[in-house]
Structure 1
Amino acid sequence: MTEKKKGWRPSLAATMIIAMVLGIITGIFFGEMVAWTGVVGNAVIMLMQMTIYPYILVSLISGIGKLNAEDAKSIFIKAGSIMAAIWGIGLIVVLVTPITFPSLESASFFSTSEVQPKAEIDYLKLYIPANPFESMANGAVPALVLFSIALGVALISVKNKNSIIDLASTAAEGLSKITQSVVKILPIGVFAMSANAAGTMSIEELESLQVFMISYFVLCILLAFVVLPLMLTSFTPFKYRDVLTMSWGALVTAFSTGNIFICLPVIQEESKRLLEKYKYDSEDANRLVDVVLPIAFTFPNLGKLTIILFIFFAGWFIGKPVDLASYPMVGISGLLSLFGSVYVAVPFLLESVFLPADLNQLFVVSSFITGRFNSLVAVMNLMAVTLLSAVIVVYGIKRPKVAALKFVALSVVASVLVLAGTRIMLEQLIDEDKNTSSLIAGMRIENTLTDQTHETSSWQRTANPNVSTVDDVLARGVLRIGYQRGNVPFTYFNSENKLVGLDIALAYRLAADLGVDVEFVPYMNEHMADDLERGYFDIAMSGVEVDAELMKHVAFTRQVMKLNLALVVPDHMVKQYSDVSVLRKASLNIAFVQHEAMINRATKRFPNLSFDELVHYESFFSPDKPHDYDALLTSAEAGYAWSLFYPDYGVALLKDQSTGRLFSFPVAFAVARRNQDLLNYVNNWLDMVKAYGFIDQQYDYWIQGHGATPQESRWSVIKDVLGWVEG
């Protein structure tokens, strides 16, 4: 009888690719209906992770414990030098990559992250294993590694160490077998996570990140398939094709899952196979693979360091590019902070260059995709460190100067060609005229508010010798609200020529709760107190600062919110004027619309500054009326809103850098000083709507821009093409 031929079975790498492609197709077809698959994907990844921490522990103990003192010293010095060299080369490539960004002017809404205290990395807890079991439980890998290295080094000089080392080696082998068993279900996790990402990430999110995505992909491909392989082939006898062939399984696994933990056993085996192919598989070389790989894993790899590119993108994206002088600082800070989680490092790095930390949300949105590409870099980085250490420590380098020259020449030529080509492509693909003004100009009052109460058509400034009590307002059927024209984002006219803004929304809500209509009456800032006394309107609601001088003439309600003082200046001047101490030396002409009491105090404190009062904020920005003002004093919240209309301006949040103290002020509503009845009502009303969260809701919309861009359901074939389900 003839033996039946076995059917074709795809390799693990091929299975991963098939699972990923099927997952993407499923996500595109079903859209948000497959969002639940993220749970399945996370479950599979957690199963893969369960052996990693114990594996690091036992593999390091057994690998280092087998060494003698002289070998251990040589390994740490040479492997450490190799790792440092790779960091330096990788950082240079990362810091050069922003040249691919095309020219663009942009701006953003205010973010509360500008004024919130920043989370700090607890480096002591991250690195020092006061309790090794706690370090393992909390995922503090550097601390766990330090403990494992310490125990492994201690075992080097222990006489009866074989029993412990054999136990650790056996445990490592057992953990490796568990991993190999779980790997069989890994394609299920790859399929689930791919479907979740393809089904839930919106087209708009991808479009807003296209510059970062393209530049980042190019950076990762350049490092993973050019720079690092060239380093290996230049300093070792390995051929480029063999390096990629042997690393393919780990690369595909990492790309499919975005998880480097689960690739460690694969990287270990593939590194040993490459050594074996070139007859470099001595016992010492294989032992170095076992020791160096887990140690290298605990340090920031180039995959992590590539996320530094996002910091430069974030500055470019909002029109505040990071200064070239700050590049080295960002690189060094990134290297140190990335010993921890990238989700802690990114906000930290954003703060270090005075960028809003909530830009981290863009990074989180892109992290599922970018994580796949930086995983490629991480795998190749680990293989490079491991193989270079094994070859150089055991066998040395043949003609090191020639190898270094070859590597530098090929890497520089390839990098220049790739990055220059990417810049040319992006210049063609990206529209430089990003219209941010349409965001805030298109904002409007909720229909639920305008439907409850209506704006009256007569905007007449009619004097009333008697102030209007609550009963008078109810009898008249109209609440008269005073407002300042063009006081973005509190009271301004949108693209439909309708009066909108945070205070306008509050006015509609107050009128609705009173059960009356609303009438809006414009006023000039210097005439507000007199207009209230004359009865032209009942309440002034237009981001009014609670001013000690004004308190003599009007009655303020309870604080509506607190705003932060800032200067609006041309983009290139933002960092220069963010520190109040700089203002003591500068000679500036500053424009303002309100804040008279604050100006009086500043004049005494900063005699070198001059101040000019404007009637309207538009006068500062208007190109038709040239002026010699260096800055506009306003709130940061308003400044960011104005920057959406005029993206070539930025906001310098005033801060005492020595103490970190911000300069803030309260805003409230104002009524006639003698109108105690209406004052009491509005105070109680403010307590009520604050408790309901209405003011926070309006703050999020008008100040932070949440919801300014309409959210649409995710496009999918089943809904938008076939029409089988409703959106």
Structure 2
Amino acid sequence: MTSRILLGLTLGVAWGLFFGEYGAWVGWIGDAFVGLLQMAILPYVAISLTSNIGRLSSEQCGRVAWVAVSLLLLLWAVGGMVLVVMSLCFPPWDAGSFFSTSLVEEPVTTDWLELFIPSNLFWSLTNNLVPAVVLFSVGLGVALISVPNKELLIETLDVLVLALGRLNNMVLRLAPLGMFGIAGHTAGTLSLEKFELLQGYLLVYALASVLITFWVLPAMVAASTPFSHREILRESRDVLITAFALGNTFIVLPMIAEAGRRLMTRHGVYDKSVVHAPSEAVQFAYPFPDIGRIVGLVFIPFAAWFYGSRIDPTSLPELIGTGFFSAFAKPVISIPLLLQLAELPSDIFNLYLASGVVASRFGDLMKTMHLLVFSLLAICCLSGTLRMNYLRLGRAAAVTAVLFLVTVMSMRSFLEYSFEDSYDRGRLIVDRQLLGEPAEAVVVEDAGPNPEPRQPGEDRMARILRRGVIRVGVDPHRLPFAYQNQDGDLVGYDIDMAHQLAHDLGVSIEFVLFPASELIEWLEDDRFDVAMGALEATVERAALLPEMNPYMELTSAFVVPDHRRREFESLGALADALRGGPPLTVAVLAGGLASETRRTDTSLGWGWGALKDYGIAPHIERVELDSARDFFESAPENGEVLATTAEEGAAWTLEYPEFAVVKPEGFNAKSPLCYFVPERSQFRHFINTWLNLKRRNGAAEQLYDYWILGKLHKDEQPRWCVVRDVLHWIE
């Protein structure tokens, strides 16, 4: 079987490389094979567990439970130690990160009752809720222990188990064909570019998987049972290959049990009077967290390293505890939750999902060996054949320590060398260029009124078209909306929008640099036609300037030194930290929304009003600055923290990675951004309509992804394949 499976895999990879996306249709063959395997597995688990537990006596049941729990704790401890050791592979370095939607999203939750409580068994079976089905089966089996005449039911269940096992074996004969379909689709559609930035995680996780699967777990068994290391690997070869290729451990449970049965029978360990079959141990352990899922949490220290962040040591107990319990759920639930607890941008979760086609297979390798080792150790404990060979165990421990030491040092050195080159710092905010096609533009400093005054009755739009020039006022200190990059060019979200506006009007641009605190005066002096660049709508601007439609809504937040992030995790925690201590100096930008609130006296609202509600406002002293850079260059003299928005603050941390963006729980204010014009006119109506058009045609979203989220704009290239790129049979 092994040779045929390998042949199917090889042919599938060759098919995918030759035809690429054009041959992806063979994926339905793999999907059909997986579906056929799945149809019998969950009923097999439920019926087998019920019959195997039901045939035990009360004494045997208690002994089995004690052994199972002890072994699970042992294997979890091994997984935890490997997780800690492999986390050391990531060398420390400083970097900031773009804005992440994790600051405004609700945390991901899971319904633990639905996952573990089979209130409706048929719902649990239909939705593959394995823990709930296992709990029902274990409960029914325990109830059967004391039922008289249970042998009749158990014999019937045994027949069903035998039939389901044979059905599964019949389907497994199609494995070579199924492997061909899966490998062909994967090789034809997988883009290696998706994993460029995930190489650190994939390499560390793959190495941990190989060490655990082929050395650590087999060595544990060989040191305490009659089975040799070589025998374990030989008998598990087929099931490991199948699980890796399918990316699904659940559907190879019968193969795992059969591999254990062969080993036990060969050494005379298998005893039906103690445990009816190794399948019972495998099925019992399956719903619980396995080593692969625990080690998979190495993605969290990888994400911290990737973003140049440091996980707060005081949060480690909560993080480890949550990580363990969340391992009962799928990674799609646990990883976003842990990213939030570690205060890391959740957008990297999208890359985690993209890596699943590769990483999940290494997880299945570990889970398959985890289940096999659990069943072997459990049967040996229950049959009295567990004998600890301390000399062999010590030798295995020494070799394990050396292997992990070499692995950690090698990976750490490799990542220090390679990641510096592969992580293109040109993608950071200070090096960014305009995304769209630039219009003809000049920058005017210390500008006076427009050199060509409007003629009597002339609308502002008419003058712009007559001159062939639009004057755009910008504050050049508002990352990532309007600022000068390292080449001295004016760039940013709003600068890109200004160039789009000029193209649509068919005119050139004169950028007028001005301080945001003097916006109204400069507009009234006719120094520019429209003001752009992260300008917030304030009460004063609403009273003195014509109404404009907001083009974006930002999330109010604070920028704080990294070591003080914990103080600002919630308004309650901040209030406790300030009580009885010196006042907190908060820097605010002149002319902005935070600056204006200092002149108001209200406890309403979710922003500064919430600070008053929590009793924080009396402990705050505000410092007004013209530029956020004044805060970063001279903190704490110009303020201990900066009141800004999450979107702007995240961009600044790219230049100053020793700072972090925090949005305290309970601080939920928003800051609307507008483009401002001096008077009600046709030009005002045009700007509002033009912004609506840019939202509808996707231009605004494209610029948001590029400037705010930090995504690179690339044209999607077809997957490389021989038939198109070598033979040129297809254009």
TM-score normalized by the length of structure 1: 0.88
Tell me the residue number matched to 2:516: 525
Q: 1:559 aligns with which of 547, 550, 562?
A: 550
Alignment match, 1:8: none
Taking structure 1 as reference, are residues 520 and 428 closer, same or farther at Cα in structure 2, changes over 3 Å only?
Answer: closer
Shift of 1:163: 3.0
In the alignment, what sits opposite 2:627? 616
Instruction: Give SS of 2:73's match.
Output: helix
Q: Distance in 2 between matches of 1:457 and 1:404?
A: 75
**Which residue identity is paired with 1:352?**
L
Q: What are the superposed Cα offsets for residues 527-566 of structure 1, whole Å, 9 maximum, x if unpaired?
A: 1110011111122111111122333433341222211123
Work out which of the residue numbers 176, 181, 197 in structure 2 matches 1:208. 197
Question: What's the CA shift for 1:688?
Answer: 4.5
* Residues 445-456 of structure 1 mapped to structure 2, 5 A cutoff: 445-447=435-437, 454-456=439-441
Q: Would you say the 8 A contact 1:135–1:144 is kept in 2?
A: yes
Counterpart CA distance in 2 for 1:541 and 1:516 is 17
Does 1:383 find its partner at 2:372? yes
**Pair 538,374 (structure 1): closer, same or farther in 2 beyond 3 Å:** same
Give me the whole-angstrom Cα distance separating, in 2, the residues matched to 1:96 and 1:324.
16
- Residue matched to 2:662: 653
Counterpart for residue 683 of structure 1: 688
Taking the aligned partners of 1:21 and 1:572, their CA distance within structure 2 comes to: 52
Summarize the Cα distance change of 1:392–1:495 in structure 2 as closer, same or farther, 3 Å threshold: same
Unaligned stretches of 5+ in structure 1?
1-11
Distance verdict in 2 for CA 1:260–1:291, change over 3 Å: same
Could you tell me how far 1:58 is from its partner in structure 2? 1.1
Task: Give 1:642's aligned residue.
Answer: 652
Distance 1:682 1:428, change over 3 A: closer
Deviation string 1:184-228 (CA, Å, 9 cap, x unpaired) is 222233233333333333343333122112211121122212221
Query: Equivalents in 2 of 1:408, 1:328: separation in Å?
Result: 27
2:494 aligned residue (503, 511, 528):
503
Report the aligned-residue RMSD: 3.1
Matches of 1:680 and 1:429 in 2, distance apart? 53
Residue 320 of structure 1 and its aligned partner are, at CA, apart by: 1.5
CA drift of 1:276 comes to: 0.9
CA offset digits 1:437-466 (Å, max 9, x no partner): 43443342323xx5xxx4455747342576
Residues 206 and 179 of structure 1: is their aligned pair in 2 closer, same or farther, counting only changes over 3 Å? same
Q: 2:290 aligns with which of 294, 301, 305?
A: 301
Match of 1:223 among 190, 206, 212: 212
CA distance in 2, matches of 1:704, 1:457: 28
C-alpha contact (below 8 Å) 1:64/1:149 kept by paired residues: yes
**Residues 440-519 of structure 1: pairs in structure 2 closer than 5 A:** 440=429, 441-447=431-437, 454-457=439-442, 459=444, 461-463=447-449, 468-494=459-485, 498-511=489-502, 517-519=508-510
**Alpha-carbon distance in structure 1 between the residues aligned to 2:636 and 2:118:** 63
CA distance in 2, matches of 1:292, 1:212: 32
| Structure 2 SS opposite 1:463 | coil
Q: CA deviation at 1:497?
A: 5.1
What is the DSSP-based 3-state SS (H/G/I as helix, E as strand, rest coil) of the residue aligned with 1:557? coil
1:538 and 2:529 correspond: yes
Count residues in correspondence.
704
- Residues in 1 aligned to 2:227 and 2:314: alpha-carbon distance in whole angstroms: 39
Q: Please list the CA deviations of residues 312-367 of structure 1 after superposition, one character each: whole Å capped at 9, or x if unmatched.
A: 10111111132344444333322222222221221122112111222111211211
Amino acid of the structure 2 residue aligned with 1:532: L
Q: Assess if the C-alpha contact under 8 Å between 2:474 and 2:514 holds in 1.
A: yes
Mapped to 1, the partners of 2:418 and 2:463 lie a distance apart of: 61
653, 664, 673: which one aligns with 2:670 = 664
Q: Does 1:287 align with 2:287?
A: no
> What's the offset of the Cα at 1:243?
1.4
Task: Give the match's secondary structure for 1:651.
Answer: strand
Structure 1, 161-170 or 465-474: larger mean CA deviation: 465-474
2:62 pairs, out of 57, 60, 73, with 73
Alignment equivalent of 1:247, drawn from 236, 253, 259? 236
| Structure 1 position 597 matched with structure 2 position 602 | no
Q: Kindly tell me: are residues 273 and 582 of structure 1, through their superposed partners in 2, closer, same or farther at Cα, counting changes over 3 Å?
A: same
Q: Quick check: 250-259 or 662-671, which moved more?
A: 662-671
Cα distance in 2 between the residues matched to 1:401 and 1:392: 17
Question: 2: distance between equivalents of 1:328 and 1:653?
Answer: 21
Partner of 2:91: 102
Q: What secondary structure does 2:158 align onto? A: helix
Going from structure 1 to structure 2, the CA distance change for 1:504 and 1:247 (only over 3 Å counts) comes to same
Q: Distance in 2 between matches of 1:419 and 1:245?
A: 28
* Residues 567 and 653 in structure 1, CA contact (< 8 A), matched pair in contact too: yes
**What is the aligned partner in structure 1 of residue 605 from structure 2?**
none
Q: Which residue of the partner structure matches residue 710 of structure 2?
A: 705
Q: How has the CA–CA distance of structure 1 residues 14 and 331 changed in structure 2, closer, same or farther, with 3 Å as cutoff?
A: farther
**Inter-CA distance 718–330: structure 2 relative to 1 (3 Å threshold):** farther
Contact 1:297–1:382 (8 Å) recurs in 2: yes
Q: What is the CA-CA distance between 1:434 and the residue it aligns to?
A: 4.0
Alpha-carbon displacement from aligned partner over 1:292-314 (angstroms, at most 9, x marks no partner): 21111111111222210111101
The 1:456–1:331 alpha-carbon spacing in structure 2 relative to 1, beyond 3 Å, is: closer
Q: Conserved in 2, the CA contact under 8 Å of 1:102 and 1:432?
A: no
What SS does the corresponding residue of 1:19 show, helix, strand or coil?
A: helix
Q: Partner letter of residue 381 of structure 2?
A: I
The CA distance in 1 between the partners of 2:27 and 2:91, in whole Å, is: 35
CA displacement at 1:87 relative to structure 2: 0.8
Task: State which drifts further: 527-536 or 24-33.
Answer: 24-33
- Contact conserved, 1:211 with 1:426, CA < 8 A, in 2? yes
Residues 353-362 or 580-589, more deviating: 580-589
Counterpart of 1:4 in structure 2 is none
Name which of structure 1's ranges 179-188 and 366-375 shifts more when overlaid on structure 2. Answer: 179-188
Shift of 1:121: 0.5
Shift in Å, 1:648: 2.2
Per the alignment, residue 387 of structure 2 pairs with 398
Give the 5 Å matches for 1:6-85. Answer: 12-85=1-74
Which range moved further: 496-505 or 380-389? 496-505
Q: Distance in 1 between matches of 2:383 and 2:664?
A: 56
| Residues 1:612 and 1:678: Cα distance change in structure 2 (over 3 Å) | same
Q: Distance in 1 between matches of 2:158 and 2:104?
A: 52
- Paired with 2:489 and 2:388, the residues of 1 have a C-alpha distance of 76
Q: Work out the CA distance in 1 between the residues paired with 2:196 and 2:712.
A: 18
Determine helix, strand or coil for the equivalent of 2:173. Answer: helix
Letter of the structure 2 residue corresponding to residue 597 of structure 1: E
Matched, 1:257 2:237: no
- Residues 1:105 and 1:721: Cα distance change in structure 2 (over 3 Å): farther
TM-score (norm 2): 0.88
